[in-house]
Amino acid sequence: MKPLEDYLIVDFSQFLSGPSASLRLADLGARVIKIEKPGTGDICRTLYTSDLIMNGESSVFHTINRNKESFAIDFKQPEELQKLKKLLAKADVVMHNFRPGVMERIGLSYDDVKAINPTVVYASISGFGNHPELKDLPGQDLLLQSLTALTWLSGNQEDGPVPMGLSIVDMLAGAHLAQGILAALYRKASQNIGGTVQVSMLESAFDFQFETITTFFNDGGELPVRTKTNNAHAYLGAPYGIYETKNGYLALAMGSIPVLASLLKCDELLQFPENKFTLRDEIKNILASHLLTQETQFWLDILEPADIWCAGVLNYEQLFKEDGFKVLEFTQQVEMLDGYSYKTTRCPIKIDGEYFTSTKGSPKLGQDNERIIKEFIA
């Protein structure tokens, strides 16, 4: 039995942040009913990645909405809203990621839902919270990365701002919402009390940088300075970074420069008996030139037995051939109601020695209407 079995989540959220939270709850056993607009559904159904269409819809939608049900209903219509409220009255969690004020205008605010479901956990993600001067700004991942200084931590010193290659703020906000929901469900189970859980993408992006922000506040307000080359962390000295080799790339984490000089037989590094932060560009330049002289595996064969923190740098094609990936069995095959099958990732959480998998794929728009109406509304 999965930990969240018998819990009902009604999810109004779209795109990535909210659905990523309900995906994790579904993986842990909750029943997730996705509320969608008739005809078009979640906008993410047509938000294509690399123009990849899977069974007529976006790969992004299939990835983040597996293991859920779809209930298509135009809840802006008073008659349909009343039907929907019958479902909400039986939900453990109601969640959305609309801008502040939208659910209130519809008649589905926390107070509205609480009136029919006193112990409901009402969870929401917004871009910027409820602050009057911020709440109407668009909560889009790239914009949030840019507004929260994240883009000044990646890349090299002269690169300008560099965004992360993933919708990282969406995923962080979704993870935080799932954490908050789980805490609220624990309180509900132990005290029979509901309540609200609120997460903003803005605050999630700030929290992601707790280490660097704390350093900034306590380091005289000095801005983080990325190294000129091979940057990987603006607040860490050499050798921390990724270096090109004769046939690929090598990642080096923290380490003693004199030890590296000896192991790599790099005499130029011997002039640095101390790993001073101010010398990191000079040290990295020497390392970068030296590591180009041999292939990645040559260096790994020297560094790994010496317990130096290092790794080869893999792309997807290389990664999926690695035994370290295969042994985890991190992929699963899921199937939609119409028989369409696709390969995707599984839940990364293990409880009592067991991972959580499910063969249930993403839902077609409105595919569960008849069953949901019969069970909760009729």
Active site residues: 170
Pick the closest to residue 13 from 142, 181, 192 (CA basis): 181
φ/ψ of residue 54, rounded to 5: -120, 115
- The full 3-state SS of 294-346, as one line of letters, equals CCHHHHHHHHCCCCCCEEECCCHHHHCCCHHHHCCCCEEEEECCCCCEEEEEC
Amino acid at 49: T
For 104, the token pair is 């209130």
Half-sphere exposure of 157 (CA within 13 A, CB side): 10
For tokens 């049900």, the residue is 69
DSSP 5: T
Q: Are 194 and 184 in contact (CB under 8 A)?
A: yes
CB neighbourhood size of 294 (10 A)? 16
Question: Which tokens belong to 169?
Answer: 């703020």
Cis peptide bond prior to 3, omega within 30° of 0: no
- Distance between CA atoms of 80 and 308, rounded to whole angstroms? 63
Write out the DSSP string of 31-92. EEEEEE-TTT--GGGG--STT-EETTEEHHHHHHSTT-EEEE--TTSHHHHHHHHHHHTT-S
Distance in angstroms (rounded) separating the CA atoms of residues 122 and 110: 6
Distance of CA 243 to the CA centre of its chain: 27
